Structure 1
Amino acid sequence: MTRKAVASALAIALLALPGDLSAQPAAAPGSPPDAAIDPGDDVEALLARLQGQIERMNQAAADRDQALEFLEKQVEAAAGALGTTGQTADSLRDRAAVLGDELDQVRRDRAALTDRLETVEDERSRRLGELEQRLARLDETLAGERESRAAVEQTLAERETALGEREAALAAARERLAALEKQGAAAEQRGAGLAAELEESRREVARLTGLLTLTVEQLRGAGTALEASRERVQNQETTIAELGRRLDEALAEKLEELSRYRSEFFGRLRQVLGERPDIRVVGDRFVFQSELLFGSGSATLDPAGRKELAALARTLNEVAADIPDDVDWILRVDGHTDRVPVRDRAAFQSNWDLSTQRAIAVVEFLVRQGIPPGRLAATGFGEYKPLDPGEDEIAYRRNRRIEFKLTEG
């Protein structure tokens, strides 16, 4: 191989190197290669950048190894070529020295690159440790964030539920609002009518106010007359009270006088009728058993009953002749029956009807005996005023009776 060929081969080998290795100084220990690593960078991006730098450094070391091997081969080839061509020893030595220097420089560059690669590996290990620590902290943070997210999601679900309820309430409120608006429109229409009624009422109030004023004036005028009337009324009340007192005294006197005539009438009647078990005095009444005057279930007076009533009428006429005209008296005839229902419904509807018909028959007989009709009264009580509450024949017999009571009219 000629000298020119060896030079060309060296040039090609040098051009095959990725840049001037001698121009790249070795990195200081602990310093990041190529570019500084920002701790705030994303973990994945940081790992990607660091991995890229390591791959580029490995590729550069491989390229320099290949160039060194190529140079060694070229040196050996050049040495063989020089032996065959008979070049001078000095020129060969010079060229070998140059190539040796270049080889030494390549070896130094390789050693620097190796040191730099080891530094990068150490930095990588350190950074990986830091990244693992950061990943651990990030995992803890992520777990906390997940818990927070779960709590937030639960809160969000609750708020969504509450929001749904509020939306439903809002929809209901809107419906109520629509209904209220309709009611408001109807109220406005009613308000217009009420306004007209109010105006009419105001006019009526004005009219009534004028009328009230006139009435007040009239009342004031009538006040004086009323006061005078009050005095007259007081005087009249005093007079009425006095007349009432006198009337009470007179009434008491008449009642006392009537009581005296009643006692006289009953006394004389006892003398006339004698002591008989079927005629007795109960309080202020003279009592005849019905069997003395009527047959069973009949309202027609028996002959014996007429005889007894005729004696009663004579005695009453004698006593009545002595009673002053200003004493108002009547003889009340009361009919009573027992609780046994009437048998002849064609003649009497009830015991009440039977007792009333018997009282009327007695009154009519007394009228025929000369007793004034205005002094007589017929009353029927049926079975509702019993003397004996028993349920036997003795009680029934006592309850079937005609009572005579001389009382005020």
Structure 2
Amino acid sequence: MNESRETVYLDHAATTPMYDEVVAAMTRQLTRTGNPSSLHSSGRTARRAVEESRERVADSLNARPGEVVFTSGATESDNLAIKGIYWSRRREEPRRRRILSTAVEHPAVLDTLRWLAVQEGAEVELLPVNRHGELDPDVLRASIERDPGSVALVSVMWANHEVGTLQPIRQAVELAHAYGVPVHTDAVQAVGQVPVDFAASGVDALTCTAHKLGGPAGVGALVVRRTVGVTPLLHGGGQERVLRSGTVGTALIVGFAAAIGIAVKRQHSDAIRLSALRDDLVQQVRQTVAGVRVSGHESRLDRRLPNNANLQFPGCEGDSLVMLLDARGIEASTGSACSVGVAQPSHVLLAMGFAEAEARSSLRLTLGHTSTQADVDAFVRAIGPVVERARASGLPALRRLRSAGLADSSVSGRLPGAPTALSARPRSPRPD
């Protein structure tokens, strides 16, 4: 890579640059000594910084400070919520073995569910979604009503990490709570992009993380109501309501609080700016490249994140597009997970009913607080030649696959209306 070139960054859903104010706040804290669990003056000063940050995070999400449990990030928060609530519910009522979720969840949720199914005998039902990646509340209702007393937990993401679809969270909560079932939501992609109100949503547990908000990696939170039983994953010093033992990272938490405060304050204005940039990007790409398709909601933009564009380029491999764009100084991503060096089609797009070839042709473009019109224009200038080269290089391989009868042989298209079984396919660590 040419280090002197100016990079166009279009992968903000994976991580977004830190705000200058966050770097400054963390730098000040990093020069101070003190363990928040210590009773002396330095410890009390560190504790004050943590608790003030907790209040700021809670205020940004309309939660109570005592409901904010700091963790190392989204993956830990998802694990704590799903395993912790499941274990607690099973201990109270052993027949509550069912966990209801969707087929388009992030691997941090899906792999946690898979572990509980294999190791703990949980009965996991991944509910299907429509062509836009959206859960039908009636499907959730039918699954709950089939045997309400056996349901331990419902986990439905707030916004999808690949196609940006917003899920009907409040309806899911109403349906679950009617039968006394708690609801967890992975809101990692939603916080800072759309209004997220913990209290008003009614969810019992909510996952968020700092590095999607302009904060540091390595810190996040599980916002969980104190009335919800959660069995801890970690044991030790009893920090964070005994739900998350371990020395508290004061500087990381200070950075998290600063970032979420800025992101939530700017959310409305940023959404207007970024949705306009996103719409212009999609329009220009369609004028430049033939056959481009948009994945997810296109006419109902109120049901989609404002910064997300997931595009399919027929005849291309998404990973080839990423590498060719990277060579031109443009950084984007696919919707696929890479396991043991083998590119896999996006499980989200497959669950939405797309064929494997369609799922493999996707490119996810996500904007953020540093994005500009110049970034969009640079991408549009590059995408035509990149697609032409990707299609030319991919055609011989596709012909060989088709002649061998292997192209699209493993995918039947749209998922059936019944809940799907949980597969054991391995996935990569959480990049989104």
TM-score bin, normalised by smaller chain: under 0.3
TM-score normalised over the length of structure 1: 0.20
Larger helix percent? 1
Pick the structure with greater CA Rg: 1
TM-score normalised over the length of structure 2: 0.19
Larger strand percent? 2
